Amino acid sequence: MNDLSPPTGGGCRNTPILKERGQREVFCGLTGIIWLHRKMQDAFFLVVGSRTCAHLLQSAAGVMIFAEPRFGTAILEETDLAGMVDAHAELDREVARLLERRPDIRQLFLVGSCPSEVIKLDLATAAERLTKVYAPNVRVLNFSGSGIETTFTQGEDACLASMVPVLPESNERQLLVAGALPDVVEDQMMGLFEQLGIGPVKLLPARNIDNNTTVGPNTVYALTQPFLGDTAAALDRRGARQIAAPFPFGEEGTTAWLAAIAEEFGVDRDLFDQVTAAPRARARKAIAQAAENLNGKSVFFMPDSQLEVPLARFLTRECDMTAVEVGSPYIHDTIHGPDLELIPAGPTISEGQDVDKQLDRVRNARPDLTVCGLGLANPLEAEGLSTKWAIELVFTPVHFYEQAGDLAGLFSRPLRRKSKLSLEAAE
């Protein structure tokens, strides 16, 4: 059904992984709230944490904070820590004030942070208690987005995993797609499933609580994002079964992802080709245009979102780049394996980080493009290296066929810009 062939000379699935420990220059899982709250329109995310947590959210959310965002921080004060007040009573009071002000909220997430985890504030019990108080109007759940437990996109994983146990049970044979996608991308995906005759399709997360997402022993699920390890485990516990596939980035990735699902649902090969032929051709054309100045260039991934492995696969195979190092905060063989298999052997595959050592490797290799966080991007540019800041890859629509050209464009733009700017005096 697809013509994906492993690279000659072998892929990277069996490459020994360089595991490093040291200073990690990454976001914590709280950051996931920034895009999750846009997706789940009736949810509010209440972080229980410190001023640092509130400051992080505001730094990451930028100007969005003024659009009456559906997230906030209950800041712990000295009296909460000294046991001078009952933290649970305090939390109940703040939740009551919040829900009074925002009666449109149907799902409330109590989000744990480093301080709340370290003082062992039992938010799970609080969530159960509050669910009883506010049922049936509001459902209260709990997950941790703390830096000590989660890295960046893992916050979404923790959130979705917290929803899985309370999903209604269904024995129906169905497809569940997990991972928050921009609405436009989600619509394209649903359109393709419809044309392929695959259904019913359920979404996690759904746009609101009333969407009938269910799970059960006859559910098969596919992940659209590579950072959903805990969610996958939670779905497995409900009896659902995962469809292993590379992630839907680029023409190849999207085709392979769809093909794995089509195969599961016994879709006829002719129908598959007929449905995908036109969008595949469009995607290939768009990539070819956008990736012109990527061909033959080298790329270095610093760890950030766990998207690094599938994106390295896209850039090496479809944009003809060479990977120097592919760093990821975590690598799970069951999830990242299919993509690693397709990356031509050669690059260092690294998990974790010791940022100063890794920066020394970047400086040695002098890659044409370094994918990294905003704390490192400008400093590396000042050293004459071109960078692509990684967080944009999480916010921008990049999945599936129609976005394949845009995805290549995100990487080629910094290189194009560099060649356009000529600020030195003329000879």
Partner 1 sequence: MKLTVWTYEGPPHVGAMRVATAMKGLHFVLHAPQGDTYADLLFTMIERRDHRPPVTYTTFQARDLGSDTASLFKDAAQSAMTHFDPEAMIVGASCTAELIQDDPGGLAETMGIDIPVIPLELPSYSRKENFGADETFYQIVKSLSVAQAKTERITCNILGPTALGFRHRDDVEELIGLLSECGIDVNVVAPLNATPSDIACIPAAHFNVLLYPETGEAAARWLERTHDQPYTKTVPIGVGATRDFLAEVAQITGRDITPDESRLRLPWWSKSVDSTYLTGKRVFIFGDGTHVAAHARIARDEMGFEVVGIGCFNREQARNIRALAKEYGVEALITEDYLEVEQTIEALAPEMILGTQMERHIGKRLGIPCAVISAPVHVQDFPARYSPQVGFEGANVIFDTLVHPLVMGLEEHLLTMFREDFEFHDDAGASHHGGKAVERSETEIEEAVASSDNVVWLKDAERELKKIPFFVRGKARRNTESFAAERGLSEISIDTLYEAKAHFAR
Token pair belonging to 32: 């996931």
Q: Between residues 99 and 240, which has the closer beta carbon with respect to partner 1?
A: 99
Q: Between residues 59 and 334, which has the closer beta carbon with respect to partner 1?
A: 59
Q: Scan residues 31-60 and list those touching partner 1 (CB under 8 A).
A: 31, 46, 48, 50-52, 54-56, 58-60
151, 27 Cβ separation under 8 angstroms: yes
Q: Between residues 148 and 277, which has the closer beta carbon with respect to partner 1?
A: 148
Question: Rounded to whole angstroms, how far apart are CA atoms 122 and 87?
Answer: 10
CA angle 108, 72, 48 (to 5 degrees): 75
Return the amino acid letter for 3.
D
Instruction: Name the minimum Å distance from CB 69 to partner 1.
Output: 7
Instruction: Name the minimum Å distance from CB 54 to partner 1.
Output: 5
Among 2, 107, 142, 146, binds partner 1 (CB under 8 A): 146
Q: Between residues 255 and 353, which has the closer beta carbon with respect to partner 1?
A: 353
87 in contact with partner 1 (CB under 8 A): yes
Q: Between residues 110 and 232, which has the closer beta carbon with respect to partner 1?
A: 110
* Total residues found in the chain within this entry: 427
Burial state string for 297-313 with b = 16 or more CB within 10 A and e = fewer than 16: bbbbbbbbbbbbbbbbb
The binding site for [4Fe-4S] cluster comprises 28, 53, 114
Instruction: Name the minimum Å distance from CB 28 to partner 1.
Output: 3
Residue with tokens 């989000």: 111
Q: Between residues 68 and 210, which has the closer beta carbon with respect to partner 1?
A: 68
Q: Scan residues 342-401 and list those touching partner 1 (CB under 8 A).
A: 356, 373-379, 381-382
User: 251: part of which helix (H) or strand (E)?
Assistant: helix 250-264
Q: Between residues 28 and 141, which has the closer beta carbon with respect to partner 1?
A: 28
Segment near partner 1 (CB under 8 A); pick from 23-31, 188-196, 214-222, 243-251: 23-31
Q: Between residues 25 and 251, which has the closer beta carbon with respect to partner 1?
A: 25
Among 32, 37, 40, 73, binds partner 1 (CB under 8 A): 73
30 in contact with partner 1 (CB under 8 A): yes
Among 13, 18, 35, 94, binds partner 1 (CB under 8 A): 94
Helix (H, G, I), strand (E, B) or coil at 291: coil
Question: Rounded to whole angstroms, how far apart are CA atoms 39 and 13?
Answer: 33
Q: Scan residues 182-241 and list those touching partner 1 (CB under 8 A).
A: none
Among 32, 117, 314, 318, binds partner 1 (CB under 8 A): 117
Closest of 292, 299, 347, 344 to residue 321, by C-alpha: 299
Instruction: Name the minimum Å distance from CB 72 to partner 1.
Output: 5
Q: What is the DSSP letter of 64?
A: G
Q: C-alpha distances in angstroms, 237 versus 162, 178, 230, 233, 267?
A: 13, 15, 11, 6, 27
CA dihedral of residues 217, 205, 253, 333 (deg, nearest 10)? -60
Q: Between residues 81 and 124, which has the closer beta carbon with respect to partner 1?
A: 81
Before 379, cis peptide (omega within 30)?
no
**How many residues sit close enough to partner 1 to count as binding (CB under 8 A)?**
63
The binding site comprises 28, 53, 114
Among 1, 4, 18, 98, binds partner 1 (CB under 8 A): 98
97 in contact with partner 1 (CB under 8 A): yes
25 in contact with partner 1 (CB under 8 A): yes
119 in contact with partner 1 (CB under 8 A): yes
Among 74, 256, 315, 343, binds partner 1 (CB under 8 A): 74
Question: Rounded to whole angstroms, how far apart are CA atoms 422 and 196?
Answer: 50
22 in contact with partner 1 (CB under 8 A): yes
Closest of 265, 250, 252 to residue 177, by C-alpha: 265
Q: What is the DSSP string of 306-373?
A: S-HHHHHHHHHHHS--EEEEEEES---HHHHHHHHHHSPS-SEEEEE--HHHHHHHHHHH--SEEEE-
147 in contact with partner 1 (CB under 8 A): yes
Before 165, cis peptide (omega within 30)?
no
Binding site for partner 1 (CB under 8 A): 22-31, 46, 48, 50-52, 54-56, 58-60, 62-63, 65-66, 69, 71-78, 80-81, 87, 90-91, 93-94, 97-98, 114-115, 117-119, 146-149, 151, 356, 373-379, 381-382
